[in-house]
Amino acid sequence: MKSAAHLRRPYCCSRLVLTLPFIFIPVFHAVAADDTLVVSAAPQDREGSYSGDNVYSTLKTLTPRNETPQSISIVTPQLIRDFNVTSVDDAVKFVSGVTQGNTLGGIEDGFVKRGFGSNTDGSVFIDGVRSNQGLAMDATTERVDVLKGSSSLLYGILNPGGVINLISKKPQYQWQGRISGRTNSNGGGTGTIDVTGPLGNGVAVRLIAERRHEDYWRNFGEDQHTLLAPSLSWLGDSASFNVAYTENKFDVPYDRGTAFIGGSPIRIPYNERIDDNANHAYGKNKRLTAEYRQEFDGIWETGIKYAWMQRRYDSNEVRATAINPETGIVTRRADANRGFNHQTTYIGWDISGTPELAGMRHDITLGADYEKNETYKAWSFRGKPSKQFNMYHPVYGESPVTTDKTADDAKSNLRATVYSSSLYAKDSIHLNDQWIVVLGGRLQRYTQNGSSGWINHQTTLNDSGSEFVPQAGVVYKLTPELALYSSYSQSFTPSAQVDDDGNVASTEKGQTYELGAKWQTTPTMLTTFALYRIDEKDMSIFMNGLNRNIPKSRSEGAELEINGEFAPGWQIAANYSLNRTQIKEDNLKPQNVGNQLVNAPRNMGSLYLTHTLTVPGLPGELRFGGGGRYVGKRAGDPENSFYLPAYTVTDAFAAWNGTVSGHETQLKLNVNNLLNREYYASSAGNLRVIAGEPRTLFLNASVDF
Per-residue pLDDT tens for 197-251? 999 999 999 999 999 999 999 999 999 999 999 999 999 999 999 999 999 999 9
Beta strands 356-357; 72-75: pairing state: unpaired
- Predicted local confidence at residue 546, as pLDDT: 72
∠ Cα 125 129 130 (to 5°): 55
- Predicted local confidence at residue 167, as pLDDT: 97
Query: How many residues can be counted in the chain?
Result: 705
CA dihedral sign of residues 135, 136, 140, 141: negative
pLDDT tens across 371-414, in order? 999 999 999 999 999 999 999 999 999 999 999 999 999 999 99
DSSP 336-351: EEEEEEEEEEEEEEEE
pLDDT tens across 657-672, in order? 999 999 999 999 999 9
Q: Is the pTM of this model over 0.85?
A: yes
585 exposure class (CB count in 10 Å sphere: 0-12, 13-18, 19+) = middle
**Reduced to 3 states, what is the DSSP secondary structure of residue 619?**
coil
61 pLDDT tier (thresholds 50, 70, 90): confident
DSSP 408-457: -GGGSSEEEEEEEEEEEEEEEEESSSSEEEEEEEEEEEEEEEEEE-SSS-
Rounded Cα gap, residues 191 and 11, in angstroms? 12
* 36 has a pLDDT exceeding 60: no
* 12 has a pLDDT exceeding 90: no
**Contact criterion met (CB below 8 Å) for 174 and 36:** yes
48 pLDDT tier (thresholds 50, 70, 90): confident
Rounded Cα gap, residues 688 and 676, in angstroms? 22
First vs last C-alpha separation in the chain:
8
* 16 has a pLDDT exceeding 70: no
- Residue-wise burial string across 139-164, b where 16 or more C-beta atoms lie within 10 A, e elsewhere: bbbbbbbbbbbbbbbbbbbbbbbbbb
pLDDT tens across 267-277, in order? 999 999 999 99
Please give the backbone phi and psi of residue 406, each rounded to the nearest 5 degrees, phi first: -105, 0
pLDDT tens across 542-592, in order? 765 677 889 999 999 999 999 999 999 999 999 999 999 999 999 888 999
**Reduced to 3 states, what is the DSSP secondary structure of residue 329?**
strand
496 pLDDT tier (thresholds 50, 70, 90): confident
Of 190, 183, 223, nearest to 209 by C-alpha is 190
Average pLDDT over residues 510-536: 96
317 pLDDT tier (thresholds 50, 70, 90): very high
Of 131, 124, 125, 121, nearest to 158 by C-alpha is 121
Average pLDDT over residues 437-441: 98
HEC-encoded secondary structure of 48-85: CCCCCCCCHHHHCCCCCHHHCCCCEEEECHHHHHHCCC
Q: What's the DSSP call for residue 523?
A: T
Rounded Cα gap, residues 151 and 473, in angstroms? 13
- Predicted local confidence at residue 53, as pLDDT: 83
pLDDT tens across 147-191, in order? 999 999 999 999 999 999 999 999 999 999 999 999 999 999 999
CB contact set of 604 (below 8 Å; sequence gap of 6+): 96, 97, 99, 576, 577, 579, 629, 630, 631, 632
Percentage of the chain with pLDDT > 70?
A: 93
26 pLDDT tier (thresholds 50, 70, 90): very low
By mean pLDDT, which of 44-58, 242-256, 313-327, 508-522 is the weakest? 44-58
**Contact criterion met (CB below 8 Å) for 62 and 363:** yes
- Predicted local confidence at residue 43, as pLDDT: 47
Please give the backbone phi and psi of residue 54, each rounded to the nearest 5 degrees, phi first: -80, 95
Rounded Cα gap, residues 139 and 106, in angstroms? 19
Residue 134: C-alpha distances to residues 93, 142, 220, 336, 385 (Å): 19, 18, 21, 18, 28
* 534 has a pLDDT exceeding 80: yes
- Predicted local confidence at residue 45, as pLDDT: 58
Beta strands 239-253; 643-644: pairing state: unpaired
Integer-rounded Cα Rg, in Å, for the chain is 25
- Predicted local confidence at residue 46, as pLDDT: 65
Rounded Cα gap, residues 471 and 439, in angstroms? 6
Amino acid in position 114: R
- Predicted local confidence at residue 41, as pLDDT: 42
Q: What's the DSSP call for residue 504?
A: B
Average pLDDT over residues 298-320: 97
Query: What mean pLDDT value characterizes the chain?
Result: 92
Rounded Cα gap, residues 425 and 428, in angstroms? 10
- Predicted local confidence at residue 290, as pLDDT: 98
pLDDT tens across 115-138, in order? 999 888 999 999 999 999 999 999
Of 301, 335, 331, 342, nearest to 316 by C-alpha is 335
- Predicted local confidence at residue 629, as pLDDT: 98
- Predicted local confidence at residue 92, as pLDDT: 97
